[in-house]
Amino acid sequence: MIESMPENTQKTKQKRDFKDASYGQFARIGKALSSPKRLELLDLLCQAARTVEVLAAETRMSVANTSQHLQVLQAARLVETTKNGRFVVYRLADALVCNFFRSFRLLAEDRLAELEQLRRRFFDDSQALDPVDRDTLLQRVQQGKVIVIDVRPTTEYLTAHIPTALPIPLQQLEQRLSELPRNKEIVAYCRGPYCVLAKEAVELLRAHGLRAKRLGDSVQDWHAHGLPIATGAEPIRKQPGTRRA
């Protein structure tokens, strides 16, 4: 005859099983985040939904490899898919995912000095590294002293952007210089502190004689500080002091 487990022992086992199962579920998220490429994919999806093909091009991976990484994120319920014709479009499963990713990034920046060292080595120009804080930028925009440009792809701009920012994707910037006034400073922003688009934009603008700086904030950083964001296209505004093409 098999003896039953003592009641206290059974309760202890139930509590242990509950804890092990709960933390095991937490670990699913940790495992999904254990790849640099999957972190980059999440960062991109914080900006806007994308097809596998677009994500593959952005991350310099094959479509097959990108799809595998996305399936891991989907298994952890961090991303979802929809069909657009023959294309599969990936998006974040919830706004909480982007909030978590930003908190994860801030924690890494706080605890890992190597991140700041990497940034300083890449953004070797101190003005390009941390040119303007958001409060100063807001004040100067309100005073009409600065023009803000969003140099991300148009899809990302339409999803969310800093109000009044002009949508000028980096690949169009050189052809659209005539739209920018020469008597005002230009501040370019992109996807945040680890995105290089704004740095390249600042270098191009300075090479053409314009005063330009880089904003390190992403749209998500802007929103997290209680500042407004806009969606969709904004009314076309002619900037005073622009040159004819």
Catalytic sites, residue numbers: 190
DSSP state of 223: H
Calculate the CA 187 to chain-centre distance.
18
Tell me, what amino acid is at 212?
Answer: A
Nearest to 47 by CA among 149, 118, 152: 152
Q: Which residue reads 């003005």 in tokens? A: 127
d(CA 33, CA 42): 9
Calculate the CA 173 to chain-centre distance.
20
CB 217 within 8 A of CB 189: yes
d(CA 73, CA 29): 8
The CA-based angle 238-241-245, given to 5 degrees, is 75
DSSP helix/strand/coil, 90: strand
The partner residues of 142 in beta bridges, in order of sequence, read none
